[in-house]
C-alpha cells in the first residue's frame, strides 16, 4: 500500500552550477519517487530561470574559470546537463517551478525573459504556505 | 508471477538517472508488471530500496555481480 504523497520545498538562492546541480538532482529524484517538488527561485537563483540561464551557470567565485573543465567531467561521467535535468523534471510532471516576484523587481527581470517552464510568479507567503506542509524543506 | 516487460541498461549512469529512467518505464506499465535494471552506480542499491519504500512499487530482486547491480522492480498499485 502506498503511503500518502510526500512534498518537498526548496528555496533556490544560488545561481551557480555547484548549487543548481543538487537542486535539480534532488528535484528529479524526488519527482521520480512520487514526491511533489516545489522549487522557489530567489535572488541569484532567479538567474537560472532566465532564458539560457541554466546553460550559462558557472562555478562560484574564482573557480569560475574551471567551469568548462567541470562541464567536460560532467559529460564524461554521463551526468545530464542542467537543461537536460530541467527537461526530466518537466517530463516527470510533479515538479513546480516558482520565480520570486520581489527578486524580479529587484533584478529588473521581466516575465517574458523567463523560461516557459516557470509555473508561477509568487511571493514569500505562497512559498511558506507550501513549505509548511512539506516533509522536506531546504535552502540551497 | 511477475512479468518482466522491459530491461533498462543503466550501466555507466549515475544518480538520479537510474531511478528517473525506471520511473518512466513504470509509468507505462500495469500493476504486477516488472522492469529489470542493470546499474553500476554503487549508490543505486540504497536508492532503489528507498524508491520502492516511498512509491509502493516492489523490489523483487537486488543483487550484485562483478560490479554490476541487477534490480527487478514490480509496479505496485497506486
Distances (CA, A) of A27 to A82, B12, B51, B76: 12, 21, 14, 22
User: What is the number of domains present in chain A?
Assistant: 1
Q: Do B12 and A78 touch (CB under 8 A)?
A: yes
- Residue numbers of the domain that contains A21: 17-112
Q: Which are the contacts of A53, defined by CB distance < 8 A and separation ≥ 6?
A: A15, A47, A115
pTM over the 0.80 mark: yes
Measured distance CA(B74)–CA(A31) in Å, rounded: 18
**Nearest to B5, CA basis, from A65, B22, A17, B17:** B22
Which chain B residues are Cβ-neighbours of A34 within 8 angstroms?
Answer: 54-55
- The answer to whether B51 contacts chain A (CB < 8 Å) is yes
C-alpha A2/C-alpha A12 separation (Å) is 29
Q: Quote ipTM for the complex.
A: 0.84
Q: Does B17 contact A80 at a Cβ distance shorter than 8 Å? A: yes
Is-contact B51 B57, C-beta < 8 A?
Answer: yes
pLDDT tens string A77-108: 999 999 999 999 999 999 999 999 999 999 99
Q: Tell me if A7 is assigned to some domain.
A: no
Which cell is A119 given?
Answer: 509555473
The pLDDT assigned to A29 comes to 96
The string of pLDDT tens digits covering residues A26-75 is 999 999 999 999 999 999 999 999 999 999 999 999 999 999 999 999 99
* Contact predicate A2/A130, CB 8 Å: no
In order of their start, the domains of chain B are 3-74 (3.30.110.40)
Is residue B15 flagged as an active site residue? yes
Question: DSSP 3-state assignment of A120?
Answer: strand
Minimal Cβ distance to A88: which of B20, B51, B78 = B20
CATH number at residue A27: 3.40.1260.10
- Does A9 reside within a domain? no
Amino acid at each position: 500500500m502506498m503511503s500518502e504523497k510526500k512534498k518537498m520545498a526548496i528555496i533556490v538562492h544560488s545561481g551557480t552550477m555547484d548549487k543548481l546541480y543538487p537542486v535539480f538532482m534532488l528535484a528529479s529524484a524526488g519527482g521520480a519517487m512520487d514526491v511533489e517538488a516545489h522549487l522557489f527561485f530567489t535572488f541569484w537563483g532567479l538567474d537560472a530561470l532566465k532564458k539560457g540561464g541554466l546553460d550559462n551557470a558557472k562555478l562560484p567565485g574564482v573557480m569560475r574559470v574551471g567551469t568548462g573543465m567541470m562541464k567536460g567531467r560532467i559529460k564524461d561521467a554521463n551526468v545530464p546537463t542542467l537543461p537536460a535535468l530541467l527537461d526530466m523534471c518537466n517530463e516527470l510532471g510533479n515538479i513546480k517551478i516558482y520565480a520570486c516576484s520581489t527578486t524580479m523587481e529587484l533584478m529588473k527581470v521581466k516575465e517574458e525573459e523567463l523560461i516557459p517552464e516557470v509555473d508561477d510568479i509568487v511571493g514569500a507567503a505562497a512559498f511558506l504556505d507550501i513549505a509548511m506542509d512539506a516533509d522536506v524543506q531546504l535552502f540551497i | 508471477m511477475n512479468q518482466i516487460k522491459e530491461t533498462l541498461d543503466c550501466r555507466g549512469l549515475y544518480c538520479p538517472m537510474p531511478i528517473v529512467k525506471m520511473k518512466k518505464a513504470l509509468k507505462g506499465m500495469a500493476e504486477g508488471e516488472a522492469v529489470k535494471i542493470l546499474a553500476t552506480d554503487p549508490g543505486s542499491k540504497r536508492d532503489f530500496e528507498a524508491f520502492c519504500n516511498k512509491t509502493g512499487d516492489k523490489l523483487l530482486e537486488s543483487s550484485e555481480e562483478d560490479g554490476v547491480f541487477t534490480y527487478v522492480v514490480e509496479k505496485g498499485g497506486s
